[in-house]
Structure 1
């Protein structure tokens, strides 16, 4: 058994399968340990997706559970897939274990519902904006690690353009588009990127305006991921200043789903959100001396 692996959808599915097979066989972990010689702690870690079983370990478990050949083949196939590097593999030296697991989950998700408090979501960031955010929030990182983290966000964005793209619904606090990150030029580029993303059929973007007042998302950002295969349960990735973690369990998932529904109901419509982003960009252009895009430069300015 190798050290603790980065979590993937396949590994989580294999862990759930082995737990269900053991319970269907009417065996406790202690029973399995006594009859196979596999340590109880090892069994616990395998069933919690905290460790990948070796092939002989998996074989011993399947033999004891007396599973049919089709189930055996499915379990072995899941283990084979779980041994393959996930999307996070190139960045695992630069990002946390939990974030690496999230990257792998996101790559296989059907849809994502995301609330973001003070910055643009990573999936929608430009490279320069990402560098500015990482440099500010993690000032002690060396340049190569910082650039690796930023590149991870750029590669994640491919989930929005692949053959079966991620369906993304974002509610973003108005602070995320008002706060100038990385300077006016970087921020204008970022706002233009958001406007381009609002034109995608698989992206819904809403701004939660300041005048909405107090709201249930003030505790921090979060993302709910749903998967194509119904056997893969939803997962929530929660972010805050002090920690970030993955949340599972029906009651917790439902709680975050209710919060997201409340937030999107309080937010501006997608059309009004795009209009606000455009206004913020134009104000930034006018105040910074940056050249106006042709469509903006030729537009009559409002007079008070």
Structure 2
């Protein structure tokens, strides 16, 4: 077994390092198999390094840089420093063992994002959930979960929301289908609390819109998704899709463009933020 790399939740820096190493190998004209044969690095490990599933140990990274002919000391130091920073998970470290791997990856990326464009068809976006609603959503979605599991997930969800309260807060544009407003998650009292909080969520860095029933069929009907963009231009946008079949990350440019277009169509179909807040309050007022 090759021990030159260890598994960890991906971070933006690890994703960037993986892209840099893929680019260097491609530029060198070598296949993974050839690199493996010439360096002794297991080909499966090399694949995991290039797909941001593991962080290479320093000796492995140095061997790859040597093989790819990276001789500039500043460039080598830059990539080595990037590798060192790739393990920084912050508060998420305490919840890593309690969360599904792909969800942990999503939170890690979200924590470093500049902005998130989120469409939800079934529930209020996690970044805008109140505690009682979050607890009801998690308990309902995972009926076999014990109380400790539910509480750990609720804690993690609420900690995510700190990104909206930072001095330089995350920019969130959230669009929900009107069905989200009417589904009685946790009962009328919980829904009233959640909807009133959602109606009041508007801030300079937070936009909330609702796609009303009257629109009919729309591009968001196949399911929810989130598009993340990052402060550094070197980190391309990332699409996250959460489904019953599993979580999926998309980073190919055609996929990013496709979901960006879908989001623009949803934004155009949705009520404007003022009318959206008015509708949310109307629905909340009927909760008894």
Shorter-chain TM-score bucket reads over 0.9
CA distance in 1: counterparts of 2:18 and 2:187, whole angstroms: 47
Q: Provide the residue aligned with 1:37 in structure 2.
A: 40
Q: Given the alignment, which residue of 74, 79, 86 partners 1:82? A: 86
CA deviation after TM superposition for structure 1 residue 127, in Å:
0.8
Q: Equivalent residue of 2:249, what SS?
A: strand
TM-score (norm 2): 0.94
Q: Kindly provide the CA deviation profile for residues 241-275 of structure 1, in whole angstroms up to 9, marking residues without a partner as x.
A: 33221112011111111111111111101000011
Q: Provide the residue aligned with 1:63 in structure 2.
A: 66
Q: Kindly provide the CA deviation profile for residues 41-90 of structure 1, in whole angstroms up to 9, marking residues without a partner as x.
A: 22222111122111111111112223211111111111111133355322
Q: Equivalent residue of 1:144, what SS?
A: helix
Q: Provide the residue aligned with 1:9 in structure 2.
A: 12
CA deviation after TM superposition for structure 1 residue 238, in Å:
0.7
Q: Provide the residue aligned with 1:19 in structure 2.
A: 22
**Matched-pair contact (CA < 8 Å) for 2:16–2:235:** yes
CA distance in 1: counterparts of 2:117 and 2:50, whole angstroms: 28
**Matched-pair contact (CA < 8 Å) for 2:6–2:56:** no
The number of aligned residues is 284
**Matched-pair contact (CA < 8 Å) for 1:110–1:228:** yes
CA distance in 2: counterparts of 1:44 and 1:179, whole angstroms: 43
For residues 237-248 of structure 1, the aligned pairs below 5 Å read: 237-248=240-251
**Matched-pair contact (CA < 8 Å) for 2:11–2:87:** no
CA distance in 1: counterparts of 2:113 and 2:7, whole angstroms: 23
List runs of 5+ in structure 1 lacking aligned partners: 289-304
| Mapped pair 1:96 → 2:97 | no
Q: Provide the residue aligned with 1:188 in structure 2.
A: 192
List runs of 5+ in structure 2 lacking aligned partners: none
RMSD value, Cα: 1.4
Q: Provide the residue aligned with 1:197 in structure 2.
A: 201
Q: Given the alignment, which residue of 204, 214, 217 partners 1:214? A: 217
Larger Rg: 1
Q: Given the alignment, which residue of 45, 50, 70 partners 1:47? A: 50
| Mapped pair 1:170 → 2:174 | yes
CA distance in 1: counterparts of 2:200 and 2:174, whole angstroms: 14
Q: Given the alignment, which residue of 227, 231, 240 partners 2:230? A: 227
